[in-house]
Amino acid sequence: MARNSNYSPELTQINAGVCEECGEECERHDAEHCQVCADVLSECAESCRNLMAS
């Protein structure tokens, strides 16, 4: 993104999707570390979307 790459929007969108899907899987598990992981992945997806919007 800093270099204004033509691939930045696509990669950011893909990364947001990957974070969402992984986070959804983590949410299905009761272990505390899985819930923490789900939260972090949700934040990552949100950050990616914010980058795409700017």
Percentage of the chain beyond pLDDT 90 is 80
Per-residue confidence (pLDDT) for residue 7, from 0 to 100: 92
Q: What is the pLDDT of residue 29?
A: 97
Here the tokens at position 9 are 């929007």
Residue 36 lies in a domain: yes
Confidence (pLDDT) at 3? 85
- Tell me whether residue 12 is in a domain: yes
7 vs 54, residue with greater confidence? 7
Q: Which pLDDT score, from 0 to 100, does residue 12 have?
A: 94
Task: Provide the domain count of the chain.
Answer: 1
Please compute the mean of the pLDDT values over residues 11-29 and round it to a whole number: 97
**2 lies in a domain?**
no
Tokens of 6: 């033509």
DSSP 7-52: THHHHHHHHHHHHHHHHHHHHTS-SHHHHHHHHHHHHHHHHHHHHH
Question: Kindly report the CA angle at 18 between 16 and 20, in degrees rounded to 5?
Answer: 70
Boundaries of domain holding 18: 8-53
